[in-house]
Amino acid sequence: MQLTIERLGHQGDGIGQGPIYAAQTLPGEVVEGDIVDGRMSKPRILTPSEDRVKAPCRHYSVCGGCSLQHASDDFVSNWKRDVVVTALKHQGIFAKITAVHTSPPQSRRRAVFHGKRTKNGAHLGLFGRASDILHDIPSCKLMSASIMSGFETLRSLVVLGATRRGHMTLTVTEVAGGLDVSVENGKDLDLKFRSELASFVPNSGLIRLVWQGEVIAQNGLPYQLFGSAKVVPPAGAFLQATSHGEAVLVDAMRRAVGDAKSVVDLFAGCGTFSLPLAQTARVHAVEDVREMMEALEAGWREALGLKQVTTETRDLFRRPLLPDELAKFEAVVIDPPRAGAAAQIAELAKSEIGVIGFVSCNPVTFARDARVLLDAGFVLDWLEVVDQFRWSSHVEVAARFARMS
Ligand SMILES: C[S@@+](CC[C@H](N)C(=O)[O-])C[C@H]1O[C@@H](n2cnc3c(N)ncnc32)[C@H](O)[C@@H]1O
C-alpha cells in the first residue's frame, strides 16, 4: 500500500490518511509498506522529502531513543516551534516564539539504560520503538561523551548484577569526574554481593553506585554545579537533560526575574534556578521531594557569596502557595512536571505577583496555564523553545509573564 505523509504526530511519527502512522517519515513523502493495526511498520520511502537527512547514528533504525534523526535540524526546530504555536492557538493565544535553542549532539547527561545477561556477557542499551527488544547502542550519538566512555564499564556491571529473570535498569548521570549510577531490578543484595559491588567501584570511573536505593560505594562527591554551589542530588533525581539546556534556561529565568530582590522558585528540584538566582536575590525554593530540598540547602550552606535561600517541602498540587504567601516575593519562577501547575497557577492569578518566569516541558499544559494567567491580566512578554531533547519529539519552553501596568 502507498501512503502520502501529511503531518507528524506528537511522538514524531508521520501520519497519512486513515490515520495511518509510519515512523521515520516526513510530511510530503510518499511511502510504501504493509499496514497492520493502522501502522506501516517498515515504510519504504518512494519520494523523499527535501528535509530528509541521513541519520547520524548507526543505531537509529532500531533504537527507540530517538525519533527525528532522519530530519534536518531546521525541520525539527520549525516543527517544535509549530507544536508550541498550535498548543497556544487551541487556547486562543497567538504568540511569537523569539528563539529556538537546540542542544548539540552527544550532550544528554542523564540516561536510563536497560541491561540483560546473555550467555557470554550482557546486552546494554535502550528498548526499540514501541517494543520490548533491547538494543545495544555502543555508538550512541545522543548521550554525552562521558556517559558513552563508561558504557563498557556499565556493561560489566550488568554482567555482575543482572538476574536472568528480567531487565536491570541503570539510571546514569554525568557528574563532576565521572558517573553517578543508580540500579534497580538487579540481584538482591547480600553480604557477598555487596562486597563484590564495593570492590567493582574504585577503578571503574563511577563516582557513586546506588543499588536498589542503597549507596554501595562513593568514589568522590557526585555533585552538580548550580551557579557557584555544589549540590549532591539524591540518586536518580531530576536534572535538566543537557548542560546546554540548563544554561539556556537559567539565563532565561535570570532575564525573566530581572532585578527582583526576592524570588520564589516553585517546583525547585535541587536548585537549578534557585542557586544561580541567589547570586542577586533572596530565594525561597519549594518542592515536594524532601531529599531534593535537603540537597539544595546543603549546597547553599557550603557556597560563598549567595543571598539567603530557604527551602520548603510541599506538595504544590494539593497545597499551592496562596496569595498572602506569594505577597512576600517580587517574582516567581515556576517549572512544573508535565501535568502543569493548575492549582498553583490559579493562586498566582489571584495574587499581586508582577512577574513570572515559566519553564515547561509540556506545551499543552503550558498553554492551559498560560490562558489562566492572561485572563488574570498578565501579558506574555516573550516565549522561547529550548530543545534539550534533540532528535526526540519532546518540546520545552521558557517564557516571561508580567502584569500589565
Ligand atoms: C520539571 S522538574 C523541575 C525541577 C527544577 N526546577 C530543575 O530545573 O531542576 C519538576 C519538579 O517538580 C517536582 N514536583 C512534582 N510534583 C510536585 C508537586 N505536586 N509539588 C511540588 N513539587 C513537585 C519534581 O520532584 C521535580 O523536581
**For 86-141, how does the pLDDT look when each residue is reduced to its tens digit (9 = 90+)?**
999 999 999 999 999 999 999 999 999 999 998 889 999 999 987 889 999 999 99
Measured by CA distance, the residue closest to atom 11 of ligand 1 is 267
Q: Cα–Cα distance between 257 and 265 in angstroms, integer?
A: 11
Report pLDDT for 120: 87
Rounded distance from Cα 238 to ligand 1 centre (Å): 8
Q: Cα–Cα distance between 367 and 76 in angstroms, integer?
A: 20
- 94 grid coordinates: 497567538
- Single pTM value for the model: 0.94
- With bands split at pLDDT 50, 70 and 90, how would you rate the model's confidence at 31? very high
Print burial letters for 51-65: b (CB count within 10 Å at least 16), e (below 16): bbeebebebbebbbb
Q: How close are the terminal C-alpha atoms of the chain, in Å?
A: 59
- In this model, does residue 378 exceed pLDDT 90? yes
Measured by CA distance, the residue closest to atom 2 of ligand 1 is 337
Q: Cα–Cα distance between 177 and 113 in angstroms, integer?
A: 20
Does residue 272's CB lie within 6 angstroms of at least one atom of ligand 1? yes
The best mutation among 109, 238, 248, 283 to test binding of ligand 1, ranked by most ligand atoms within 8 Å of the C-beta, falls on: 238
* Cβ atoms 158, 116 nearer than 8 A: yes
Name the phi and psi angles at 49, rounded to 5: -75, 155
What Cα–Cα distance (Å) separates residue 50 from each residue in 11, 33, 254, 393? 21, 21, 39, 20
Q: pLDDT (tens digit, 9 = 90+) per residue, 212-257?
A: 999 999 999 999 999 999 999 998 899 999 999 999 999 999 999 9
Does residue 288's CB lie within 6 angstroms of at least one atom of ligand 1? yes
Report pLDDT for 129: 83
Print burial letters for 290-301: b (CB count within 10 Å at least 16), e (below 16): eebbebbbbbbe
Q: Cα–Cα distance between 305 and 279 in angstroms, integer?
A: 7
- In this model, does residue 405 exceed pLDDT 80? no
Report pLDDT for 41: 84
- 79 grid coordinates: 516543527
Report pLDDT for 91: 98
- In this model, does residue 258 exceed pLDDT 90? yes
Q: Cα–Cα distance between 65 and 140 in angstroms, integer?
A: 9
Kindly state the average pLDDT of the residues 166-190.
95
Rounded distance from Cα 249 to ligand 1 centre (Å): 15
Rounded distance from Cα 269 to ligand 1 centre (Å): 5
Measured by CA distance, the residue closest to atom 4 of ligand 1 is 269
The best mutation among 267, 284, 395 to test binding of ligand 1, ranked by most ligand atoms within 8 Å of the C-beta, falls on: 267
Residues assigned a catalytic role: 361
Rounded distance from Cα 287 to ligand 1 centre (Å): 6
CA 73, distance to chain mean position in Å, is 19
Report pLDDT for 113: 97
Rounded distance from Cα 371 to ligand 1 centre (Å): 21
- In this model, does residue 267 exceed pLDDT 90? yes
- 30 grid coordinates: 510518499
* Cβ atoms 260, 307 nearer than 8 A: no
Interstrand relation of 206-211 and 355-360 (parallel, antiparallel or unpaired): unpaired
- With bands split at pLDDT 50, 70 and 90, how would you rate the model's confidence at 316? very high
* Cβ atoms 172, 183 nearer than 8 A: no
Report pLDDT for 404: 82
